[in-house]
Amino acid sequence: MGEDENSNLELMKGRFYADFKKLFTVNHEIKNFAYDVEFKKNMEIFQKKGRRVPIHLQSAVEVELKKLQKERHLVKLEELGENV
C-alpha cells in the first residue's frame, strides 16, 4: 500500500469512528435474534473452553508460571482430589 492509500484509509477510519462512535464504544446485547443453521450429517458436537489468558500473553504467562514453580511459590498439581 502506498502512502496516499494509508492516509485515505486513516481518514475513512476517523470518519467512521466519528459518525458511528457508539458502534465502536458501546457494548450492546442483541435480543430476539434468530439464525437458521444447517448441520452436516454425522457431525460431532463438542465444546471448547474459552481462553483464560489472551493469546498474545500466553508465552509470558508460561515463563512467569515456570519461574514461580522453580522458586517454589507455586506447586503444579498432577491430579485433583475431591476437595480441590
Integer angstrom CA distances of residue 28 from 7, 22, 24, 60: 31, 10, 10, 32
pLDDT in tens, the chain (84 residues): 567 777 878 888 888 788 887 777 776 677 777 778 787 888 887 777 777 888 899 999 999 999 999 999 988 888 777 765
Ramachandran quadrant class, 47 (left: phi over 0; alpha: psi -120 to 50; beta: rest):
beta
End-to-end CA distance of the chain: 55
Q: What is the dihedral of CA 69, 55, 21, 25, to 10 degrees?
A: -40
Question: What grid cell was written down for 19?
Answer: 459518525
Cα 55 from Cα 51, distance rounded (Å): 8
pTM of the model as a whole? 0.36
